[in-house]
């Protein structure tokens, strides 16, 4: 029995070694380096008196924000330069002119010291006014310099109280400078006016607006936005789809952006040569409050209206974006076989929540890639599996070796049993 256990242990060790050696070759990532410029994010938190209201999961809005910040700071990716700015945190009085200057940098944008940042957040207490416009101006200054992505995440529970400096106009001025800075906004238990203002701020810079009613929603959403800042920078090309394929814009391989009205169809065209494969994906973001249960459909259609292939996805209100994709391999042909015009149709079934404006349309992002078909690819990675072939090979070989060894062990045990 002891000999059998030792043999089984040896078999497991051998299989583990084989799998590790095949699935994780030593040279797979040794020469990979990250040359991306450091992304910068500043979290701008409303600390006005209304943040003391206790209507988020039985606790105050301020408590929910602090918990969210603690969780986000713990999960912030390495390499992200993060800062924190407050508005309405320091002035307790009633002088409007003074209150509308009350914005300060709580933690400077730079390499994150998680303990120091969380300690600073813990000291905050709901206090004063809501100078959103001045805070955005200062936050844009805080993020100056460098070539990485820049993002402001504004969390507020009310309208700006420092008009006539309209925060929407401030956001438009920031966008007009062409500094590549995105402002995302989150409204804590917002009313219609707050929602409208925060949506306007986000729309001005191509950002997103999110309603927040619960602690987990706040933590998850802020975390998503911070993670998004660390994604590799790819500059999309603005395009404008049409209502029918015949006059749709022709797209080549690349990343494209557009706007699509609620329930609208948008058409685009792609030329695919014989022996090539079209890969396309689309994402439509609900950057404002929408009704639950919605979907996105992406279809590849011939110029004569025959559907070739489709991709579809749906959602129920728990995500801010819905994505789907498709692949279409064009069969080989003769040397004189012409390219095929493939029509791509994007349709959404979003509907706006009560009181939500419907213009501009929802942000749409489309990736188009036309590559050599899989039967012509010289590198298996071009078919989309990449290094996954190593793991697939390891699993196949492991199963084969395991079957042989297990059969041998079983025969040996039967032989020993008969001998005894």
Residue-level pLDDT at 384? 39
Residues 87 and 48: their CA atoms lie apart, in Å, by 7
Claim to verify: residue 276 and residue 161 sit in the same structural domain: no
Claim to verify: residue 55 and residue 200 sit in the same structural domain: yes
Domain coverage including residue 273: 237-372
35 located within any domain: no
Of 273, 286, 413, 252, residue with least CA distance to 362: 286
| CATH code for the domain in which residue 267 is found | 2.60.120.380
Claim to verify: residue 225 and residue 260 sit in the same structural domain: no
Range list of β-strands (E), 354-396: 362-372
Residue-level pLDDT at 273? 92
Residue-level pLDDT at 255? 87
Of 221, 210, 218, residue with least CA distance to 68: 218
Give the three-state DSSP class for 279.
strand
| CATH code for the domain in which residue 59 is found | 3.40.50.410
Claim to verify: residue 223 and residue 275 sit in the same structural domain: no
Burial 235-255 (b: 16+ CB within 10 A, else e): eeeebebeeebeebeebeeee
Claim to verify: residue 222 and residue 244 sit in the same structural domain: no
Residue-level pLDDT at 411? 67
Distance of alpha carbon 306 from its chain centroid, rounded? 33
Claim to verify: residue 102 and residue 201 sit in the same structural domain: yes
pLDDT tens-place string over residues 94-125: 999 999 999 999 999 999 999 999 999 999 99
Residue-level pLDDT at 164? 79
Distance of alpha carbon 200 from its chain centroid, rounded? 21
pLDDT tens-place string over residues 172-186: 888 877 667 889 999
The structural domain count of the chain equals: 3
Residues 6 or more apart whose Cβ sits within 8 Å of residue 368 = 251, 252, 253, 254, 256, 268, 270, 278, 279, 280, 344
Residue-level pLDDT at 374? 56
Residue-level pLDDT at 337? 82
The DSSP line for 395-420 is: HHHHHHHHHHHHHHHHHHHHHHHHH-
Residues of the chain with pLDDT below 70 are 1-36, 178-179, 232-235, 317-320, 373-396, 398-404, 406-407, 409-420
Residue-level pLDDT at 205? 83
Residue 319 tokens read as: 């995500």
In the listed set 229, 260, 281, which residue is the last one of a domain according to the structure? 229
Residue 241 tokens read as: 């789809």
pLDDT tens-place string over residues 8-40: 444 444 444 444 444 444 443 333 334 458 899
């Amino acid at each position: 029995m002891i000999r059998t256990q030792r043999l089984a242990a040896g078999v497991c060790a051998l299989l583990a070694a084989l799998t590790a050696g095949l699935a994780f070759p030593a040279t797979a990532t040794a020469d990979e380096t990250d040359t991306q410029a450091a992304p910068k994010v500043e979290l701008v938190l409303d600390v006005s008196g209304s943040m003391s209201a206790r209507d988020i999961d039985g606790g105050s809005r301020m408590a929910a924000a602090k918990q969210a910040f603690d969780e986000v700071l713990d999960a912030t990716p390495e390499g992200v330069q993060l800062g924190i700015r407050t508005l309405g945190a320091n002035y307790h009085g009633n002088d409007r002119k003074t209150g509308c200057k009350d914005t300060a940098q709580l933690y400077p944008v730079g390499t994150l010291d998680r303990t120091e940042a969380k300690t600073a957040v813990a000291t905050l207490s709901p206090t004063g006014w809501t100078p959103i416009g001045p805070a955005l101006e200062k936050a844009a200054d805080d993020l100056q310099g460098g070539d990485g992505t820049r993002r402001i995440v504004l969390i507020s529970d009310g309208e700006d109280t420092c008009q006539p400096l309209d925060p929407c106009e401030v956001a438009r001025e920031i966008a007009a400078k062409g500094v590549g800075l995105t402002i995302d906004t989150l409204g804590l238990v917002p009313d219609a006016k707050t929602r409208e203002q925060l949506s306007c701020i986000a729309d001005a810079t191509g950002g997103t607006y999110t309603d927040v009613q619960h602690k987990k929603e706040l933590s998850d959403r802020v975390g998503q936005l911070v993670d998004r800042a660390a994604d590799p920078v790819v500059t999309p090309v603005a395009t404008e789809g049409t209502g029918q394929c015949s006059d749709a814009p022709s797209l080549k391989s690349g990343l494209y952006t557009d706007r699509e009205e609620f329930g609208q169809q948008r058409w685009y065209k792609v030329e695919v040569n014989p022996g090539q494969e079209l890969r396309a994906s689309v994402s439509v973001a609900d950057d404002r409050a929408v009704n639950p249960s919605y979907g996105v459909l992406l279809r590849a259609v011939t110029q004569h209206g025959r559907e070739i292939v489709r991709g579809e996805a749906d959602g129920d209100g728990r995500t801010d974006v819905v994505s789907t994709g498709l692949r279409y391999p064009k069969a080989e042909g003769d040397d004189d076989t012409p390219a095929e015009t493939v029509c791509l149709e994007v349709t959404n079934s979003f509907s706006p929540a009560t009181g939500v404006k419907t213009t501009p349309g929802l942000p749409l992002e489309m990736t188009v890639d036309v590559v050599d078909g899989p039967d012509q690819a010289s590198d298996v990675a071009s078919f989309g599996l990449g290094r996954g072939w190593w793991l697939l090979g390891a699993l196949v070989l492991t199963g084969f070796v395991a079957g042989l060894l297990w059969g041998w062990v079983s025969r040996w045990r039967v032989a020993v049993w008969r001998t005894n």
